[in-house]
Amino acid sequence: MIVPIKQIVSRAHKNKYAVGAFNTSNLETTLAIVRAAVSQKSPVIIQTSESAIHYSNLQTIFGIITSVANSIGKSVPISIHLDHGKDLGLIKDCIKIGYNSVHIDASEKDFATNVFLSREIGSLAHKKGIWAQAELGSILGKEGLVKLETGEINMKDLLTDPLQAQEFVALVKVDTLAVAVGTIHGSFQGIEKVDERRLQKIRSLVNIPIVLHGGSGLSVQMFKQAIKNGVSIINIDTNLRLAFKEALVKSLKPDSDLIDPRKILEPSTKAMQAEVEKMIKIFGSNNQA
Ligand SMILES: [Zn+2]
């Protein structure tokens, strides 16, 4: 059932587990996330990127998520979040339609502009009684500033500075903070790691829940360590895309006579559900609903 995100994240923050924020853009992915949450008795955050909203439209995707969450998912707490909001008009539309949380991603701008925009969206969100997430530092990958081509970028120049994070949070008054601590959007197994000392330092200076983006390439141990060091929300998108495609390729072998879209997509939905269930167990949010 859709609930205020505070209810989900404050408990995770206090009890030291993380809640998965899973991206969706359609019915099948939404079903997979909600069914996994129900089977694991776990709270979940379901999020849409701006491009996922443009794929159908805001009312359609919001309608799909809320109706699946309030019917199939009625036994577990679920919140809807806008991931990487950059278009101020669209962020405002999400606040208006009933999202529980919005991410204002002005991390590509200079510090003062990031503060200004994040504070403005934070205050709009709070007027509606919802949460806002801001971002400081550059999380590389598809939404980042720099394209990862060799894996040899000097990450240190792009990671969140703990002291600056402390100053930023005091100025912007948002509810959650996305940080750059070494992860990359997409899946880059082996290259990605979390700068745990940096994360610990941020955690000690910032008292709002920390969000880890781009974690799809991390090992189980790295996830667990990051949660131990204070991450309360973990964004997962690429893992579900990979699971979807792998299952689809199998169900659409050249000699397949399947023509019913439901039968073609069912293995993909199940594979995404299994992936979400796996993540929920790693994050420790199972049996917390
Ligand atoms: Zn992200």
Going from N- to C-terminal start, the domains of the chain cover 5-248+256-283
Query: What is the chain's percent helix, strand, coil content, to nearest 5?
Result: 50, 15, 35
**What's the CATH code, domain 5-248+256-283?**
3.20.20.70
Active site residue 237: no
Residue 146 CB partners (closer than 8 Å, separation 6+): 138, 140, 153, 158
Distance between Cα 107 and ligand 1 center (Å): 11
Distance between Cα 261 and ligand 1 center (Å): 30
Element of type H or E holding 46? strand 44-48
Q: How far apart are CA 145 and CA 122, in angstroms?
A: 23
pTM: 0.93
Give the pLDDT confidence of 26-80 residue by residue, as tens digits: 999 999 999 999 999 999 999 999 999 999 999 999 999 999 999 999 999 999 9
To which residue do tokens 């998912």 refer?
73
| Residue 210 contacts residue 170 (beta carbons within 8 Å) | no
Summarize the confidence of residues 132-148 as an average pLDDT: 70
Distance between Cα 58 and ligand 1 center (Å): 19
Annotated catalytic residue within 83, 105, 175, 195 = 83
For β-strands 231-236 and 176-179, DSSP reports them as unpaired
Q: Which residues surround ligand 1, an ion (CB under 5 A)?
A: 213
Q: How far apart are CA 84 and CA 115, in angstroms?
A: 16
Question: 269: helix, coil or strand?
Answer: helix
Torsion of CA 17, 131, 84, 215, to 10 degrees: 0
Distance between Cα 260 and ligand 1 center (Å): 34
Give the pLDDT confidence of 205-259 residue by residue, as tens digits: 999 999 999 878 799 999 999 999 999 999 999 999 999 999 999 999 888 899 9
Distance between Cα 129 and ligand 1 center (Å): 23
